[in-house]
Amino acid sequence: MRLAGLLLLGSFLIATSLGCATPAPLVRLKPSAGEVVWVSGRATVARADAGIRVGVAFDRQDGPALGLRVEVENGTGANLDVDPREFTFTNCRDARPSSCSLTTRVIDPERVLLALDETQSRERAKTVNGQALLGTLVILNAVGDVATIASGRADQNTGAGTVAAGSMMQTAAIAGETRRLSLAHQQAIWSNEALRHNTLFPGSGTGGRVYVPIDLDAGVVWLHVRTGGRVFSFPFQQTVTQVAEPRTRNLERGGGF
pTM of the complete model: 0.69
* Cα–Cα dist 78/242, whole Å: 48
Continuous H helices in the chain: 2-17, 109-150, 160-188, 248-252
How high is the pLDDT of residue 128? 62
Inter-residue contact 48 to 230 (CB < 8 Å): no
How high is the pLDDT of residue 3? 41
Inter-residue contact 159 to 138 (CB < 8 Å): no
How high is the pLDDT of residue 213? 96
How high is the pLDDT of residue 24? 85
Q: Is 174 helix (H, G, I), strand (E, B) or coil?
A: helix
How high is the pLDDT of residue 134? 58
Over its length of 257 residues, how does the chain's per-residue pLDDT go in tens digits?
444 443 344 444 444 444 566 788 999 999 998 899 999 899 999 999 999 999 999 999 998 999 999 999 999 999 999 999 999 999 999 989 999 999 999 999 999 989 888 887 777 767 666 656 656 665 666 666 566 666 666 666 666 666 665 666 667 666 666 776 777 778 888 888 999 999 999 999 999 999 999 999 999 999 999 999 999 999 999 999 998 876 655 544 444 43
How high is the pLDDT of residue 225? 97
Burial degree of 250 (CB within 10 A; 0-12, 13-18, 19+): exposed
